[in-house]
Chain A
Amino acid sequence: MKKAIILLGCPESPSQTPLTIYSAHKLTEMGYEVTVASTPSAKKLVEVADPVEYYVQNKIDIESCLDNLEEGEFDLLLGFVAKDAAVSYFVTFYHILSTKSLALVFHRDPEKLENFENSVRENTNADIVSARAYHNPTPLRVRLDRALDKIDKEGDS
């Protein structure tokens, strides 16, 4: 079975938790076994949103995950990038895993959004989904759907 890892950033962006649940659902439908790597505080939000682990069964602490991560361990990296630190984490996971990757870049400030997007583009070959977003997950969700459809079709071909 294909394996995907969803890398969460700082949980202060309201869009992150619903989009985590949504992404996990979409990736499971695409045939991936999904693992969510996060800080303890981001994990708590996912646990409350999905109390019986209907959408997310595998959760791992981001630090211990990083310590033991090996190249090729996952077939897909999907990372939330809404802070400077999240750019660093995403780029680091990308370089260790050397696998198909998708960055969900979002911020309410257009300048920061562009800065994060450029940093991911300059330092990885990851696909990038980007939107000016904070509370409203729809702009990112629509672009995420398109990006996942593309990955799904690439997998079929």
Chain B
Amino acid sequence: MFCLDTYLRESEDYEIHMTRSGFKDCARFIEENAPEVVHVKPGEKIVGARIIGIPPVPIGINEEKGTIMLPYTKPCYGTATVEVPVPPEERENIRVVGID
């Protein structure tokens, strides 16, 4: 199973669009820049990690690039917006738990 934390530790082909930001700024960036946006509840498991944030939490999906864009929060470092390539089934899993 795809695990976001492991992926970010062990891979280099992800993009960090924003870092050490507030959650609202990261959420706005995803809303404005992702071709498709799915909203999920905070605490939902997305690519093996519990999503942290203020509801509804936006997850961006880019089918063309095969990536998702999501807010990634750590207690001391604030929220980052990361874009990672994920398998097609993980993108579909996100749509399934969407609350839109």
Q: Which residues of A contact B (CB under 8 A)?
A: 8-12, 39, 41-42, 62-63, 66-67, 69, 83-89, 91-93, 95-96, 119, 123
Query: 9 closest Cβ contacts across the A-B interface?
Result: A96-B43, A92-B42, A10-B76, A84-B22, A92-B52, A95-B42, A88-B73, A88-B23, A88-B53
Please name all residues of chain A whose beta carbon is closer than 8 Å to the beta carbon of B49 when the two chains form the complex: 67
Do B77 and A92 touch (CB < 8 A)? no
Distance in angstroms from B68 CB to nearest chain A CB is 18
- A interface secondary structure, majority: helix
Do A89 and B75 touch (CB < 8 A)? yes
Please name all residues of chain B whose beta carbon is closer than 8 Å to the beta carbon of A12 when the two chains form the complex: 76
With A66-B50, A66-B52, A123-B54 known as contacts, the answer to whether A91 contacts B42 (CB < 8 A) is yes
Please name all residues of chain B whose beta carbon is closer than 8 Å to the beta carbon of A93 when the two chains form the complex: 43
The yes or no answer to B78 lying at the interface (CB within 8 A) is yes
Do B73 and A95 touch (CB < 8 A)? no
Do A83 and B23 touch (CB < 8 A)? no
Please name all residues of chain B whose beta carbon is closer than 8 Å to the beta carbon of A42 when the two chains form the complex: 75
Do B22 and A92 touch (CB < 8 A)? no
Do B52 and A88 touch (CB < 8 A)? yes
Docked pose: A88 CA to B27 CA in angstroms: 12
Contact of A86 among B50, B53, B71, B75 (CB under 8 A): B75
With A88-B52, A91-B55, A92-B52 known as contacts, the answer to whether A39 contacts B78 (CB < 8 A) is no
Do A84 and B75 touch (CB < 8 A)? no
User: Which residues of B in the span 41-89 have a Cβ within 8 Å of any Cβ on A?
Assistant: 41-43, 49-55, 71, 73-79
Do A84 and B79 touch (CB < 8 A)? yes
Docked pose: A87 CA to B79 CA in angstroms: 11
Docked pose: A63 CA to B76 CA in angstroms: 13
Docked pose: A10 CA to B79 CA in angstroms: 13
Query: B5, B50, B71, B77 — which one has the most chain A CB atoms within 10 A of its CB?
Result: B50
Docked pose: A92 CA to B72 CA in angstroms: 13
User: Which residues of B in the span 2-57 have a Cβ within 8 Å of any Cβ on A?
Assistant: 5, 22-23, 41-43, 49-55
Query: What are 21 contact pairs spanning A and B, CB under 8 A?
Result: A8-B75, A10-B75, A39-B75, A42-B75, A62-B75, A67-B49, A67-B50, A69-B43, A83-B78, A84-B22, A87-B23, A88-B52, A88-B73, A89-B75, A91-B54, A93-B43, A95-B41, A95-B43, A96-B42, A96-B50, A119-B54
